[in-house]
Structure 1
Amino acid sequence: MTITAEERRARILEVVRELGTVRVMELAARIGTAPVTVRRDVAAMADSGLLRRSHGAVSLPRDTSSPGPEGRPLVLGMLVPAVGSYFDEVIGGARAAAAAAGATLVLGIAPYDAADDRTQAEQLLDAGPDGLLLTPNWHPGVSPGDTSWVRDLPVPAVLVERIAPADSAAAELDSVGSDHRHGVLLALRHLRALGHESVVLAAREDTWTAHQVRAGYADGIRLLGLKPRPVVDIHRPGLDSEAIATRIAEAVGQGVRAVLVHNDQEAIQLAPLLRARGLRAPDDLALISYDDVFAALAAPPLTAVAPPKRGVGATAVELMLRRIGSGS
């Protein structure tokens, strides 16, 4: 009887929990699956934080028997600005790592227009978490304001996909996040290697990631000696596609043949509009999207920069568990 990938991976976890550490070949024999399939499963599960690989052996990421206070399972609170798209994968990585450690993840959502991160965090504390994973609603290019309240939190906290200014109280917290500036530099290096001397950036301006992407673009243009171009602003995500396509077509008329778009949704919406203007990717225009959430679903699939979203969530949980374990 054929089993699904989910059932197979659940069986892998059962065996690893039973044996503690097991080599891939023995693992494959125990679950009756080809070693090549088990290796692929183990690699995917390790990327999600469910398993740890070391020298051909597989184990759990940590000792999952450590209980929280009074012997109950640990509870971790996670505050994010949105669900869907990008943060779905961050949450997925955190959830998998928490489950592997025998902990429970409790989610709180503070919309991007929420004004008070402190209030949102205090509401999440009502669930009685042993630690908080925080993605504050900091606006691009604007100081996060008074963050002294983080010093009064009754539990450890870790910033997720945020870097606090050095003069902020939040800078005292540990932080786990993607290096979006480096991600943009990788995209620009790729385009430069293909012979492009000028690259247009079309980017949102309403999120932390968008601000980091824009800063990375400015850095990369300078470092790689590319000809600078004005950024095409996406003022209304999902609604400005026609105007953006027109701006890009104008740039092509001026000799530009490469575009970096933040994010996947905007890039996918742009592709047919550019085709209507006689521009096909990749024949007439190199088009790279930033985020890699839906890029593979485009027609044709888009080249994309893929921040380690699930890895960020998993690593944040692992760091938090260390903080709780050390009592810091």
Structure 2
Amino acid sequence: MTLTAEERRARILEAVGELGTVRVVHLAERLGLAAVTVRRDIAALADNGLLNRSHGAVSLPRGAATPASTGREWVIGMLVPTAGSYFDEIIAGARAAASAAGARLVLGIAPYGAAEDRAQVGQLLESGVDGLLVTPNWTPDGPSGVGSWISELPLPTVLVERRAPADSVGAGLDSVASDHGHGVMLALRHLAGLGHGAVMLTARQDTWTAYQVRAGYTEGVRLLGLEPRPVIDIEHPGQDSEAIGARIAEGVAEGARAVLVHNDKEAIQLVPVLRARGLRVPEDVAVISYDDVFAALAAPPLTAVAPPKRAVGAAALELLLRRLGSGDERLPVHHLELLPELKIRTSCGGSG
């Protein structure tokens, strides 16, 4: 049976934990794998701080611990605001990285707006986790000091798809997030390259990502010299399609023939509403969706900004394991931002 990359890397870590320093060729022979495949997996593990490489041999980082060397597995608690759509992929990335490292993931969910973050984290702590991946229910305009309790948690903690304000105590926490400003710029630059001098934005206003998308739009329009347009608010997600379609139709009549929509669900619902108003996609209005969870399934398939969701989950888990395993207080705080991609499909016209 063919092993997945996660399974191969888990076996590599287990073997290195048992053998100590070992040459790559001997490790490949022990595992019955091609040397080129083992080298590729070792490079990925080393990039994430889980292995050291030196002169054709590999070893665990100083002070690192694995199930093979400790007789136990790291148990990682993960708090997310939802287990659906966008966060499904983040969870999947963290879960695969945990499996590759011989760790176990325990999930907690604190729904948007439910103010259950602390209670859910408390439950994870009581379950005996060794470290935490936390996506708190923050918005940039929230009250000052919100979430400061996270910096006081007794275990290593990594923020996922969140960044604490620079003037807060939480700024000293590790974080891994998508650079949504870059993602919006990709969309705006693509539309500008297709000849659009004005691009509308319709976006939610109840999530962290929505605020980042809005801020990225304001900055991107300024940098690209596009005509600024008022943001079309999605006040009731999933229920405002008719009203939003009317606003977009007004914008098209005023010469703005392109729109960025946050998120996929809203964009997919908008397409038939626009069609009912005589606006064809992409002939009359170009549409780009933000999130790329379901965008490829739309009719027509939607060009979409795709944050690196799985990679965010994996990088956050690997960073936390690195901090747990190194035992080195000198390891600096990491603020990692991963760049989204633009997936070109048919809803804009033109090509990538």
* Change over 3 Å in CA distance of 1:11–1:286 after alignment to 2: closer
CA deviation string 1:132-155 (max 9, x = no partner):
001111134224634332343221
* Change over 3 Å in CA distance of 1:124–1:16 after alignment to 2: closer
Counterpart position of 2:297: 297
Counterpart position of 2:11: 17
CA deviation string 1:166-200 (max 9, x = no partner):
12121110110001011101110111111100000
Amino acid across the alignment from 1:260: L
- Is residue 2:204 matched to residue 1:210? no
* Change over 3 Å in CA distance of 1:62–1:306 after alignment to 2: farther
CA deviation string 1:190-233 (max 9, x = no partner):
11111100000010011000000000000011111110111110
Counterpart position of 1:266: 266
- Is residue 2:131 matched to residue 1:139? no
Q: Where do 1:180-195 residues align within 5 Å?
A: 180-195=180-195
Measure, in 2, the Cα distance between the counterparts of 1:123 and 1:68.
28
List 4+ stretches of structure 1 deviating above 4 A: 18-22, 61-65
For the residue of structure 2 that corresponds to 1:8, the secondary structure is coil
Q: Where do 1:216-227 residues align within 5 Å?
A: 216-227=216-227
Percent sequence identity over matched residues?
64
* Change over 3 Å in CA distance of 1:115–1:272 after alignment to 2: same
- Is residue 2:228 matched to residue 1:234? no
Measure, in 2, the Cα distance between the counterparts of 1:89 and 1:301.
20
Counterpart position of 2:172: 172
CA deviation string 1:46-91 (max 9, x = no partner):
9xx9x99x9xx9x9x9999713996311000000111111000010
Counterpart position of 2:245: 245
Q: Where do 1:248-327 residues align within 5 Å?
A: 248-327=248-327
Measure, in 1, the Cα distance between the counterparts of 2:203 and 2:68.
43
Shift of 1:13: 3.6
For the residue of structure 2 that corresponds to 1:202, the secondary structure is strand
Measure, in 1, the Cα distance between the counterparts of 2:252 and 2:66.
59
Shift of 1:116: 4.7
* Change over 3 Å in CA distance of 1:198–1:9 after alignment to 2: farther
Asked if structure 2 preserves the Cα contact closer than 8 Å seen for 1:65 and 1:102, the reply is: no
Asked if structure 2 preserves the Cα contact closer than 8 Å seen for 1:204 and 1:210, the reply is: yes
Measure, in 1, the Cα distance between the counterparts of 2:283 and 2:203.
22
For the residue of structure 1 that corresponds to 2:271, the secondary structure is helix
Amino acid across the alignment from 1:303: T
TM-score, normalised via structure 1 length? 0.82
Amino acid across the alignment from 1:8: T
Counterpart position of 1:157: 157
User: What do you get for the CA RMSD once the two structures are aligned?
Assistant: 3.3
**How many equivalent residue pairs?**
301
For the residue of structure 2 that corresponds to 1:280, the secondary structure is coil
Deviates more, 1:207-216 or 1:116-125: 116-125
* Change over 3 Å in CA distance of 1:178–1:144 after alignment to 2: farther
Measure, in 2, the Cα distance between the counterparts of 1:239 and 1:62.
52
TM-score, normalised via structure 2 length? 0.77
Measure, in 2, the Cα distance between the counterparts of 1:93 and 1:153.
24
Unmatched segments (≥5 aa) in structure 2: 17-23, 330-352
Measure, in 1, the Cα distance between the counterparts of 2:195 and 2:101.
48
Measure, in 2, the Cα distance between the counterparts of 1:80 and 1:319.
17
Counterpart position of 2:200: 200
Measure, in 2, the Cα distance between the counterparts of 1:156 and 1:68.
22
Asked if structure 1 preserves the Cα contact closer than 8 Å seen for 2:9 and 2:101, the reply is: no
Measure, in 1, the Cα distance between the counterparts of 2:9 and 2:101.
15
Counterpart position of 2:80: 80
Unmatched segments (≥5 aa) in structure 1: 1-6
Amino acid across the alignment from 2:261: V
For the residue of structure 1 that corresponds to 2:2, the secondary structure is helix
